[in-house]
Amino acid sequence: MLITIKCYPAKNGDCFLISLEETEKEKKHLLIDCGYVDTFQKYLKNDLIQIAKCGETLEKLILTHIDADHIQGAIRLLKDNNAERFITIKEVWHNTYRHLSEQKEFEIDIMQERILQQIIRRGYLPNESKQGEQVISAEQGTTVGALLLQGKHSWNNDFNNQAVCMDQKSKVELSQDANIYLLSPDNQKLEKLKNLWNDELKKYGANFNSGNSQLYDDAFEMLLSWEKEKAKVVPTQISATKGSLDELLKTPFYEDDTATNGSSIAFILQIQSKKLLFLADAHPGLIVHSLNEYQNEGAIIFDLIKVSHHGSFGNISRELLYKIDSERYLFSTNGQKNNHPDKATIAHIVARKTDFHRKLYFNYITANSKYFERENWMEEYNYSIHYLDQQPYTLTL
């Protein structure tokens, strides 16, 4: 089976279109995240229109977590598609407030409604514009949840309309030859997300967390998209000598503990004998636990690994790297936020002994990707650097 992974230019975000050519006349397509609005407008929309013109559909739209760099483009996609119906979306995976709390039948009072409306009006955290780049923002007050309800989409139906959660269901069948194995989130990660919502609401003087108003969904999505990451520890200036890779390997590891990233939908896509690992921005501790459930003994060799959180070192622990390896690693970021991918991440990936040649794919040329374009390192550690920064932005397996 031919598999293509289109890795769109999504600035510091994620947007992947996976196409499975099961027969010459039958293809299945999965869309993982949508980057920003201009990711959709400049690149993704036309591809989706072409898919529909071939009589094909989008099997799954998987929005991994509530973060602007993953879902702002989905807002424009859903808004345009609700109006134009240019493609059929069979199923959407997206966790929001309604999946975390008991939906009670009662009317919210005026004070509560005002607080929720205030949060919604604030909108998403704006994407930083650098180097004169024009940024197109999502409409203020518009959320994925509202548009899914408006378009009457099948929403988390694979999970009985509850949260996409490995404790709810760990395997979803796409076809006779293709399955998704869920690795994250679990109930504990979703509970942490709910607790963050409660804590943030208290800052507005609110102390309520249950109800069935759509305002809760919208405010939840807007409010949690603002969660800040802690400043990472930056190692001392590293020299450009051969020994600097060894210095990078000494970088202290602090696991990402943000609730939104921890709620990421991460999974293995298994197609016949091929296995692809999509880690979203997930926490490595849970991923290791889930992978041990999937295969207890030994390292798992994947045909492709999408590196977690744009190559942040807080999401790629040594323990995780003991468990996984691949000939192909995929990084999605332009490097303009948090200087991703971290040098320590790349160093830990390439420095392990290997029987095969590792290819590192980047959808942008960044300072840190170029840092590893050293002939002596590439020869000694048996890796190479590749770029998907031009059309067709595509990897084929």
Give CA–CA dist 40/46, Å, rounded. Answer: 9
| CA-to-CA separations, 366 to 107, 342, 393, in angstroms, rounded | 51, 11, 16
**Beta-carbon contacts of residue 4 (< 8 Å; ≥ 6 apart):** 18, 19, 21, 394, 395, 396, 397
- Note whether 167 and 190 are within 8 A (CB): no
Q: Tell me if 134 is assigned to some domain.
A: no
Q: Tell me if 30 is assigned to some domain.
A: yes
Q: Tell me if 352 is assigned to some domain.
A: yes
Overall domain count for the chain: 1
Closest CA to 46 of 77, 9, 15, 16: 77
- Give pLDDT, residue 126: 62
- Note whether 189 and 286 are within 8 A (CB): yes
Q: Tell me if 131 is assigned to some domain.
A: no
Q: Tell me if 132 is assigned to some domain.
A: no
Q: Tell me if 316 is assigned to some domain.
A: yes
Structure tokens at 360: 């590192």
- Give pLDDT, residue 243: 53
Closest CA to 194 of 115, 98, 288: 98
Q: Is 132 left (phi over 0), alpha (psi -120 to 50) or beta?
A: left
- Give pLDDT, residue 138: 53
Closest CA to 273 of 303, 296, 316: 303
Helix (H, G, I), strand (E, B) or coil at 129: coil
Q: Tell me if 135 is assigned to some domain.
A: no
Closest CA to 60 of 145, 176, 164, 150: 164
Q: Where are the beta strands (DSSP E) in 138-273?
A: 171-175, 178-184, 266-271
Residue 36: domain span: 2-126+141-396
Spans of the chain below 70 pLDDT: 24, 102-108, 125-141, 207-213, 228-243
- Give pLDDT, residue 240: 45
Amino acid at 59: E
Give CA–CA dist 57/47, Å, rounded. Answer: 12
Q: Tell me if 236 is assigned to some domain.
A: yes
Tell me the pTM: 0.92
CATH of the domain at 31: 3.60.15.10
